[in-house]
Structure 1
Amino acid sequence: MVWIQVWSVPHEYIRAEKIESVYYRTLTKGRSEDWIEILVRPMEKPVLQVCLNIGADPKTGEERKAWHQLAERRAGLVLEEVIRIISDKEHRTKMVSLKDLVDLDFTEEAPTSLDMEIWVWNLPCQTCGKETPVVYPVGAFFGYMLEFNFLSNLPRLLAEKFRFFKKGEGSTKEAGEYHNTCIHCGSAQPDWRVMESYLDLATHPDQVSEKSHITVPLTEAEKAEYKKAGIDPDW
């Protein structure tokens, strides 16, 4: 028979044949919220603790949904491995510690795309003063959003969706870069001005004329960067 070591009491063991089922519960260790504890019934004693390596629970929205889906998938893999070990005939007559036998390499999954919320509203043109629509990806990581070109594929996708978001022409320093442009005089609207206008919308949300979502595919370099930063695919 197999004897399974109890996690919290190292000198205590449980006979595997007495175990009716196994399950897990979430566990917080310090600031880490991605740990689980495996328990056995009917003893209700822990036999293993594992870090799922998925970072902190985002707490809200779609990010939380994706976090829990990944947590459940990885916790399921841990349960499968525990059941396999408990049932393995090769371990008969042995006293085993699951922490020495469960070896699952959980690495953080790099996002392949980012899902952003897009807002459109009107802004007086910096050149002619007439009202012109502008677009801003408000769901993006704020620290990068002084420029619209922070993701390789974002400008092109915005340009395909909104005609007033165009690539600059001529020999100026902005040539080749995408910007919001006035629908009347064609002047580019500076990114910082659009950004400041967006901040004002916090007290005037009724000025937003359109809200939608856009999924931006990431380049290999961007995948590595956002994996390193621990940013979730659904901002």
Structure 2
Amino acid sequence: MGKSRSATAICAYLMHTLHISASEALAHLRQTRPFCEPNDGFMKQLELYHQMGAPDTVEDHPIYQRWLYKREVEFSGACGQAPDADKIRFEDEHAGRVSKESPAEFELKCKKCRRQLATSPYLLPHTLPTNPNAPSTANTPISSLSPAPAAACTHYFLDPLSWMRAELEQGKLEGRLECPKCKANVGKYAWQGMRCSCRAWVVPGISLAKGRVDEMKLSGGSRGEGMGIRRPPGAVNAGGGQAKENL
């Protein structure tokens, strides 16, 4: 009836030609066709199109590729299956996720051998129901969720990373993650989803246990910058002056 699907196509055209947002395009359209109402799924795709910069084509855009991957994983999990090995997207193999504009703020290291397992750009925020007394289910809509309190979480949820390849490509629906260096158990995964200790449901659930890893801050977006060197009280620095004690 020209309310949702065709309205979405016109909004995309307006976004591409006028360089406006999805909500602005819909407002323009409603000036002459007030009952236009793209469904929630279409609106999310229009917002994604806006994030891409409303290009001529989207097939090769990293944001679109990531969206396709998430849909594939959600569909596989709903069917009780792991995604095909050739469809798993290992985020650290795709350029552009970590940049000067979004540098890593901290890294996660294996508590046993100190091998780096992840950096902050690959971690996923998760949410829980607004009403803490309400039951939380895998089908709870994102729109009804609010940010989860970090202090209540005992897991770091993250994207698939290349060091997990040997385990994730086995086709198992769930399993555990081992440090690639010392083989210590550092986390677990469940393609169908996993519930955090804060009661939030995360799909897919790929997590590192906070008790098995150490979080190391990275000053200036790279290891070691701005950390300083601890000197004993009264020590003399290279310039002949007394060094300040790092507290």
TM-score (norm. length: structure 2): 0.29
The alignment's TM-score, normalised by the length of structure 1, stands at: 0.30
Larger Rg: 1
Return the structure number with greater strand share.
1
Higher relative contact order (CA 8 A, sep 6+): 1
